[in-house]
Amino acid sequence: MSKYAMFGKMTAHPGKREELAKMMLEADTLNEMEGCIYYILHEAEDDPDVLWITELWESQEAHAASLKNEKVRELIGRCRHLIAEVGGVKVRPIGGKGF
């Protein structure tokens, strides 16, 4: 089974990035993401509304299962009104420090 990784880009509605980031970093929900090796939220320095997310999972199946988790789904629903656009790219990790 190979690891699964993503670089996500989330654009908040103007002026809502801080509120969105705070919601997304709720510890209870992060602890529910079984199979997640890391999930790191970053603020873009060049755009006051953009968040970047780096994720590494034990497998693609673990990531898919997290999206079915009740707490994760509830959090996504609560964040939806703050989000203007979502995008990203799936990548295949091949090695490095911390891998």
**What does the pLDDT look like over 32-71, one tens digit per residue?**
889 999 999 999 999 999 999 999 999 999 999 999 999 9
Instruction: Set out the domains of the chain in order of their start, with CATH numbers.
Output: 4-91 (3.30.70.100)
Tell me, what's the pLDDT at 1?
Answer: 52
Note the pTM of the prediction, 2 decimals. 0.86
Helix (H) or strand (E) holding 88: strand 83-91
What single-letter DSSP state applies at residue 1? -
**Whole-number Å distance between alpha carbons of 84 and 91:** 24
- Other beta carbons less than 10 A from residue 59's beta carbon: 13
The residue with tokens 């989330």 is 10
**Angle value at C-alpha 4, between 87 and 13, nearest 5 degrees:** 20
